[in-house]
A = this chain, B = another copy of it.
Amino acid sequence: MAEDNSKRTDVNELGEFGLIDHLTESVRIHHDNTIKGIGDDAAVLDNGADYRLISTDCLVEGIHFDLAYTPLKHLGYKAIAVNLSDIYAMNGFPEQVTVSIAISNRFSVEALEELYKGIRTACNNYKVDLIGGDTTSSPRGLFISVTAIGRVDKDKITYRSTAKKGDLLCVSGNLGAAYLGLQILEREKQIFQSIKGGLQPDLEDQQYLISRQLKPEARFDMIELFHKAELVPTAMIDISDGLASEIFHLCKQSNVGVILEESGVPIHPDAEKKSIDFGIDPITSALSGGEDYELLFTIDVKDIDKVKYLPDIYIAGEIVPKEDGIKLHTKGGNIHDIKAQGWVHF
């Protein structure tokens, strides 16, 4: 086995994004219709009249989900929604998905039916066609890999790398709720396991936070709004690994800095309250939590009137020259450096 080689570098030393960069840096491109390969939410292929978008992601049991509190139907729905989010983040619309599943024999046909019910529900809600379905066995655990295929007009495509000084930084929806939902579920699991026989936890008043974790929606409505308002963001990325991590990707690839206004970061009242209960500053939940699947985007200042009247969009900062760094302007009036502590899976 190659692992017996003398040099052994742990993958944690590079982190997920460093690792991908390292492994794919010498990739050669052979086809003119490959417009954009690795490095954005989705790859971009020239389709003649428009662009085809391709995005792939996988969900692994024990890393991305815990079946102790994740219903299989919700998991199927989420596997599709989070992949579609990458297509929306290019300002496009998904049209097809393929799903590869590896399962151990502890899963029954009925369990798989539940998973596929969620997959089909998501496909119908988002109007995408399930066009490929590889299902194989795994010695242990459940793996789900989804590839989403979408389409975008050539004059509407929005990359991560095209934000420019003076642009306004915007966020859709609200942030941190999915992370707090996960903390609640993890805590309840521990309580449940420590009481043999088990009390059923009362999670009624936590419904919003838990649903943000278990059944996230991708923001197709935002992309529809943009198209109706004839707004093309100057740059966009979806918020899957926490606001801080996505800000770093966007700034690094656009070669700019940012001033983020704490007062402009949208946080749901339930998330604010629960974050304080857990002893976490709410802005930290928004910056370092994950799985919000909201959109982070920048607009040219001249488009501010187009955004002002759109629902559920928040102006949260301004793009500045790279030399000015990546900073948070707190409600208290202080300026801090933002750290890229995204959701690290390694």
Contacts and interface: CB of A to CB of B under 8 A. Distances in A.
Interface string A90-113: 000001101110110111111111
A269 interface: no
A147 B100 CA distance: 10
Interface residues of A, number: 94
A12 interface: yes
Contacts of A34: 95-96, 129, 131
A139 interface: yes
Given A63-B136, A136-B63, A112 B43 contact: no
Interface string A3-32: 101011111111010011011101111110
A14 B96 CA distance: 26
Given A24-B116, A130-B37, A143-B143, A136 B9 contact: no
Nearest to A113: B23
Interface in A108-122: 108-116, 120
A52 B55 contact: no
Contacts of A33: 95
Contact of A138 (B95, B114, B141): B141
Contacts of A149: 45, 54
Contacts of A57: 100, 134
A162 interface: no
B68 A1 contact: yes
Nearest to A94: B31
Given A37-B132, A132-B37, A7 B110 contact: yes
Contacts of A166: none
Interface string A39-76: 00011010111001011111011111001100111000
13 contacts: A3-B111, A12-B105, A20-B135, A24-B116, A27-B130, A28-B123, A29-B129, A34-B96, A37-B132, A43-B131, A43-B132, A58-B136, A136-B345
Interface of A: 1-3, 5, 7-14, 16, 19-20, 22-24, 26-31, 33-34, 36-38, 42-43, 45, 47-49, 52, 54-58, 60-64, 67-68, 71-73, 95-96, 98-100, 102-103, 105-116, 120, 123-124, 127-141, 143, 145, 147, 149, 345-346
